[in-house]
Structure 1
Amino acid sequence: MVDHETWSERQSSTTVAVDGHDLEVAYYEDGPDESDGPPVVFVHGIPTWSFLWRDIVPAIADDRRTIAPDLVGYGNSAMHDGFDRSIRAQEAMLEALLADLDVDRIALVAHDIGGGVALRFAAHNPEMVDQLVLSNAVCYDSWPVEFVSNLGLPSTAEIGREELEGRLDAAFVEGAYGEADPEFIAGMKAPWLTDEGHVSLVRNAVSTNTNHTMEIDYGAITAETLLLWGEDDVMQPYDYAEQLATDIPAAELAPLSEAYHWVPEDQSDAYADRLGEFLTESNT
């Protein structure tokens, strides 16, 4: 299993333009250059980064090229002040990154606010997205949750590192099914435990609102869609997966039991197996 330091060391980076700002984007890439299907792109949420996919990417990379970016403001991507971190801006970043990597068709796998990014991207670029996998994704008016809203309060920028770390510990423990892996928690917290990271996390939280998911035309999504959802989640409840299954034309429900919000971590083996099956089925 790759630890978060090794994951960071293996990341590449490029600079893309988002709203007129040149922003560095870090991304983890693995798998063969040539495969039977398009690259599989993994998009994380808040307060995570691409390390969320530590157990999933290697399983898929046996057969497919995989790309897991850090959203701008997250992980090892740009964290300085002065740019938008909203779902709309993250969609623009993803579009620019794929153009930079010369990728024009993808399978898109996303979690939490990454799911909102993926839903927008799939609705606006149906010709690019062959398969869409959504896991406990923000959609409609399902967010932000209280924990993230509280991170966005101005006072959060002034709290001490110990208090911030405690809040993050609580979020990752409470959002996990059973005992959370200490390495997972340490890896998820690592980007935020610097002065720049602390402020960036607050900026990221401030940018969370329902505007950019309420305006999506969900019926415009043509990709074969798998709703691979932790059914015990209270932050992004399963009811929203059922609503997506109604509104997205080619959507299939795939609940995972004994899984809360961090479903790629809670049920990593089952998640990777079901994802692999779906990607294979969709290319036969």
Structure 2
Amino acid sequence: MIPADATFDGTFPFAPHVTDAPGFPMHYVDEGKGEVVLCLHGEPTWGYLFRHLIRALSPTYRVVVPDHMGFGKSATPPDRSYWLQDHIDNLERFVLALDLRDITLVLHDFGGPMGMGLAARHPDRIKRVISANGPVSFGQADQVDRLLANAATAPWFQWILKAQADGSLETVLGQLGYTILSTLKLNGFEDHSIITDAWLAAYGAPFATPADCLGAIGWTKGFATGMHRFEVPDAAAIRAIRTRPALAIWGMADRTLQARYFLPLFRDLFPAAAVHELPGVGHYCLEDAPDLIARLIADFLRQS
């Protein structure tokens, strides 16, 4: 776990906040005032991914960015499971503890199904949905088929299945603090010009020891063993969320969550919504094109 006051040479200068509402110390950023923009990261990142967006939006909005269990500055409890439903449970407790309402979700990677799980349970609290290379799985009939078809061609998912089969998954991911750059690159990280010692430290520090890697191991192992379960929205939740303003921003160089499989999920749920396909931008779109994405999101918030 990263020290709460770590700023990584000033690149993450936000005041730390911690809540025990999910049953462990969960760190979050809470910057600005106004409508709530809730940013949800995925694997193997943390709130650092949203640092540029926090700066861009916090003068006008309240930007809330939790680090999920086992990631970033949050604790990595050794006695918890790290399946999707556990993360949804944690997020629900977090949102209720802070009483967040009129939420704009910003979803990246597994933050997608996590945020949509929250939307299934509390559609009344969701005002807008923004997918930034984050799947909006929300009861679509073909969501599992698309996930499996994507996994059949995505290098990251192919490695997960191979490593689980040969018994190396936990050993390899237990060294994630040392291999973080190669992991990010495998998934689709394109802009090498931003790599600095501080940047590498920010993404590697959460995984200093094998015990610190339980979150990353748990998420990948959950996929390999079929333990993740999408939240199933009821008909009322689907009707409500379909009416919300929505935006998709997708880095088309994403090798892990390929647009051809996941943008149709978004378009099925939000057929009238704008979709921005960004050529040359990878899975970590908020690293590859932070200024463009911040501008697209700010414009969307103003217009909706």
TM-based fold match above 0.5? yes
Gaps of 5+ in 1: none
Cα distance in 2 for residues equivalent to 1:197 and 1:105: 34
Residue 173 of structure 2 is aligned to residue 173 of structure 1:
no
Distance 1:69 1:150 in 2: 31
Q: How much is the aligned-residue C-alpha RMSD, in angstroms? A: 2.8
Letter in 1 for 2:80: F
What TM-score does the superposition give when structure 2 sets the normalisation length? 0.79
- SS for the counterpart of 2:56 is helix
The equivalent residue for 1:49 is 46
Give percent identity, aligned residues only: 22
Task: Say whether residues 1:193 and 2:215 are aligned partners.
Answer: no
| CA deviation after TM superposition for structure 1 residue 114, in Å | 0.4
Alpha-carbon distance in structure 1 between the residues aligned to 2:163 and 2:7 = 26
Q: How far 1:214 moved relative to its partner? A: 8.1
The equivalences for 1:120-135 within 5 A come to 120-135=117-132
Q: How many matched pairs?
A: 272
> Do the aligned partners of residues 122 and 231 (structure 1) sit closer, same or farther apart at CA in structure 2, a change above 3 Å counting?
same
Look up the match of 1:273.
295
Give the aligned residue type for 1:96: R
1:243 paired with 2:259, answer no
Whichever residue aligns with residue 30 of structure 1, its letter is E
Q: Which residue is 2:99 aligned to?
A: 102
Aligned counterparts of 1:74 and 1:116: Cα–Cα separation in 2: 17
Matched residues in 1 for 2:74 and 2:15: separation? Answer: 14
Q: Counterparts of 1:244 and 1:157 in 2: how far apart (Å)?
A: 33
Q: 1:140-179 to 2 correspondence within 5 Å?
A: 140-141=143-144, 142=147, 145-149=157-161, 155-159=168-172, 164-174=176-186, 175-179=188-192
Q: TM-score, normalised by structure 1?
A: 0.84
SS in 2 for 1:28: strand
Distance 1:87 1:261 in 2: 20
Three-state SS of the structure 1 residue aligned to 2:81 is coil
Q: CA deviation at 1:117?
A: 0.7
- The alpha-carbon distance between structure 1 residues 199 and 103, as it changes in their structure 2 partners (threshold 3 A), is closer
Give the 3-state SS of the residue equivalent to 1:78 in structure 2. coil
Deviation at 1:247, TM superposition (A): 3.0
Q: Aligned residue for 2:29? A: 28
CA contact (8 A) 2:173 2:213 kept: no
Higher strand share: 1
Structure 1 residue 187: Cα displacement = 1.4
Q: Describe the SS at the equivalent of 1:197.
A: helix
1:12–1:26 Cα contact (<8 Å) kept: yes
- Asked whether the 8 Å contact 1:84–1:207 carries over to 2, the reply is no
Taking a change above 3 Å as real, the CA distance of residues 252 and 149 of structure 1, as seen in their structure-2 partners, is: farther
Q: Helix, strand or coil: the match of 2:283?
A: coil
